[in-house]
Structure 1
Amino acid sequence: MKSFDETLAIFADEESRKALRTMQRGIEREALRINADNELALTPHPASLGAALTHSRITTDYSESLMEFITPVYTDVDQMLKGLTETHAYAVQHLNGEKLWPVSMPCYVGDEKQIPISYYGTSNSGILKRLYRKGLTYRYGALMQIIAGVHFNFSVSDALWQTLYQHSDKQLSLGDFISDRYFDLIRNYRRLVWVLPYLFGASPAICRSFIKDQQTELDFLTHSSGTLYRPYSTSLRMSDLGYTNKEQEKLSISYNSLQEYLQGIKAAIKMPSKKFADIGVNVDGEYRQLNANILQIENEFYAPIRAKRVTKRGEKPSEALCRAGVQYIEVRALDVNPFSPIGIDASQVRFLDLFLLYCLMQPSAKVDAAGEKEIAANLKAVVLEGRKLGLILSRNGEAISLQQWMRELFADLGRIAAVIDGDDRVYADTLAHWSEAVENPEMTLSGRIWQSLAQTGLDHGAWVRQLAEQYHRQLVDYPIPQAALASLDAEAAASIEQQHQLEASDKLDFEQFLAEYFRANTQVDEPVH
Structure 2
Amino acid sequence: MISRLLLEAIMELHHPVFQLKDLSHLWHSTIGIEKESLRLKQDGSLSEYPHSTEWGKRTQQPYIQTDFADSQLELITPPVYSAKEARKWLSATHQLVQDTITTQHDDELIWPFSSPGLLPDDVSSIKIAQLENENEYNYRAYLAEVYGKPVQLLCGIHYNFQINPALIEEKVADFNPNLSIKEVTNDLYLTLGRNYLRYRWLLTYFLGAAPYIADNYSTELYGSPKEKAMRSFRQSQYGYNNDEDVSISYASLEAFVSDVEKAVANGQLLLEKELYRDVRFRGQDRYRDLINNGIKYIEFRNFDLNPFDPYGITETDTDFIKLFILTMLFLPQVEKDEEVELGNIMNHVIASNEAHAALPYLAEGEKLVDAMLLVARALDEQQLMNGYFENLVTDKRQQLYHPELTIAGKLVTIIEKEAQAMNKPAENHFLAFGLNLARQHKETYLERDYNLHGFENYEISTQNVLKHAIKAGIKIEEIDPTENLLKFTYNGHSELVKNANMTSLDTQISYFVMENKVATKKVLAQNGIRVPAGNSFTSFEEAARYFPLINFEQFVVKPKNTNYGLGISIFKTFPSRENYEEALQIAFAEDNTVLLEAFMPGTELRFYVQNNNVEAICERQAAQVKGDGHSTVSELIDVVNSNPLRGDNHRSPLVNIGKGRLEQLQLTSQNLTLDSIPEEGQVVYLRENSNISTGGIAIDRTDEVHDDYKRIAIQSAQFLGANFCGVDLIIKDYTQPIVEEADYGVIEANFNPAMMIHLFPGVGQARPLGKAALKQLFPEAPLD
Matches within 5 A, 1:239-318: 239-246=236-243, 249-271=244-266, 293-309=267-283, 311=284, 316-318=285-287
* CA positional deviation for 1:421: 1.7
Indicate the structure (1 or 2) with the bigger Cα radius of gyration.
Answer: 2
* Alpha-carbon distance in structure 1 between the residues aligned to 2:289 and 2:201: 29
Q: Distance in 1 between matches of 2:473 and 2:204?
A: 38
- The 1-side partners of 2:77 and 2:92 are apart by 10
Give the alignment's TM-score, normalised by structure 1.
0.79
Consecutive unaligned residues in structure 2, runs of 5 or more: 423-428, 475-488, 492-784
The SS at the match of 2:38 is: strand
In structure 2, the residue matched to 1:381 is: 349
Question: Quick one: which of 405, 411, 415 aligns to 1:443?
Answer: 405
2:62 pairs with one of 30, 38, 56: 56
CA distance in 2, matches of 1:363, 1:484: 47
C-alpha distance in 1, partners of 2:168/2:238? Answer: 39
Q: 1:28 is matched with which residue: 31, 34, 43? A: 34
Any conservation in 2 of the 1:182–1:360 contact (CA below 8 Å)?
no
Q: 1:469 aligns with which of 439, 443, 446?
A: 439
Contact 1:453–1:463 (Cα < 8 Å) also in 2:
yes
Identity of aligned residues (%): 25
1:200 to 204, 207, 225: 207
**1:13-43, CA deviations, whole angstroms, 9 ceiling, x for partnerless residues?**
5xx3431221200000000000122210011
Instruction: Write out aligned runs for 1:184-223 (5 A).
Output: 184-211=191-218, 216=223, 218-220=225-227
User: Which of structures 1 and 2 has the larger relative contact order (alpha carbons within 8 angstroms, sep 6+)?
Assistant: 1
Match of 1:142 in 2: 149
Partners of 1:69 and 1:186 in 2: CA distance: 24
What letter matches 1:343 in structure 2? G
Cα distance change of structure 1 residues 489 and 360 upon mapping to structure 2, 3 Å threshold: same
Instruction: Tell me if 1:358 matches 2:324.
Output: no
Q: Please, which of 387, 394, 397 is the counterpart of residue 432 of structure 1?
A: 394
User: Given the alignment, which residue of 116, 125, 128 partners 1:114?
Assistant: 125
CA contact (8 A) 2:359 2:403 kept: no
Structure 1 position 48, deviation (Å): 1.2
Q: Counterparts of 1:72-87 in structure 2 under 5 Å?
A: 72-87=78-93
* Match in the other structure for 2:13: 5
| Local SS of the residue matching 1:238 | coil
More strand by share: 2
For residue 219 of structure 1, report the CA deviation from its aligned partner: 3.0
Deviation at 1:70, TM superposition (A): 0.3
| Contact preservation (8 Å) 1:234, 1:387 | yes
Q: Which amino acid aligns with 1:434?
A: K
CA contact (8 A) 1:184 1:363 kept: no
Instruction: Give SS of 1:341's match.
Output: coil
Give the stretch that moved more between structures: 154-163 or 27-36.
154-163
Q: Structure 2 CA distance, aligned partners of 1:409 and 1:10?
A: 19
Encode CA deviations 1:326-356: one digit per residue, 9 max, x unaligned: 1111010001111111111112111111111
Answer whether contact 2:356 2:409 (CA < 8 A) is retained.
Answer: no
1:287-307 alpha-carbon deviations (Å, 9 max, x no partner): xxxxxx222211111001111
How far did residue 387 of structure 1 move? 4.6
What TM-score, normalized by structure 2, do the two folds share? Answer: 0.54
Note the C-alpha offset of 1:136: 0.8
| TM-aligned CA deviation for residue 389 of structure 1 | 5.1
**Alignment match of 2:47 (pick from 41, 52, 65):** 41
Change in CA separation of 1:372 and 1:428 when aligned onto 2, cut-off 3 Å: closer
Q: Distance in 2 between matches of 1:78 and 1:380?
A: 31
Letter in 2 for 1:385: N
What is the rounded CA distance, in whole Å, between the counterparts of 1:354 and 1:117 in structure 2?
A: 37
Question: Which residue in 2 is equivalent to 1:226?
Answer: none
Q: Distance in 1 between matches of 2:307 and 2:333?
A: 34
1:262 deviates by 1.2
Of 111, 115, 125, which aligns to 1:105?
115
> 1 CA distance for matches of 2:304 and 2:350?
14
With over 3 angstroms needed to count, the CA separation of the structure-2 counterparts of 1:46 and 1:184, relative to structure 1, is same
What is the deviation of 1:11? 4.5
Deviation of 1:212 after TM superposition, in Å, equals 8.8
Cα separation, 1, equivalents of 2:199 and 2:302: 11
Q: Which amino acid aligns with 1:445?
A: I
CA RMSD of aligned residues (A): 2.7
What displacement does 1:439 show?
1.4
Hey, what does 1:238 align to over in structure 2? 235
Seen in structure 2, the aligned counterparts of structure 1 residues 8 and 450 have a Cα distance that, compared at 3 Å, is: farther
**Structure 1 gap segments, 5+ residues each:** 221-228, 272-292, 393-401, 500-529
Greater fraction of residues in helix: 1
Q: Matched residues in 1 for 2:316 and 2:291: separation?
A: 35
**Which residue matches 1:506?**
none
Q: Cα deviations across residues 193-234 of structure 1 (Å, max 9, x unaligned)?
A: 2112111111111120324998637532xxxxxxxx14xx21
The aligned counterpart of 1:66 is: 72
Q: How far apart are residue 51 of structure 1 and its match? A: 2.0
**Which of 107, 131, 135 in structure 1 is aligned with 2:138?**
131
Mapped partners of 1:36, 1:236: distance in 2: 24
TM-superposition CA deviations, 1:115-168 (whole Å, max 9, x none): 1111122xxxx1111110011111111111111111000122123324543442
With over 3 angstroms needed to count, the CA separation of the structure-2 counterparts of 1:153 and 1:214, relative to structure 1, is closer
Change (3 A) 1:325 1:484: farther
Find the aligned partners of 1:9 and 1:411 in 2 and give their Cα distance. Answer: 22
| Residues 12 and 332 of structure 1, relative CA distance in 2, 3 Å threshold | closer
> Counterpart of 1:263 in structure 2: which amino acid?
S
* TM-aligned CA deviation for residue 260 of structure 1: 1.3
What do the CA deviations read for 1:477-513 (whole angstroms, capped 9, x no partner)? 2531443542341354467x989xxxxxxxxxxxxxx
SS at match of 2:197: helix
Q: Is the 8 A contact 1:44 1:64 kept in 2?
A: yes
Secondary structure of the equivalent of 1:210?
A: coil
**Partners of 1:494 and 1:82 in 2: how far apart?**
17
1:161 aligns with 2:158: no
Q: Distance in 2 between matches of 1:212 and 1:419?
A: 46
Change beyond 3 A, Cα 1:493–1:158: closer
Residue-pair matches, total: 446
What's the counterpart of residue 378 of structure 2? Answer: 419
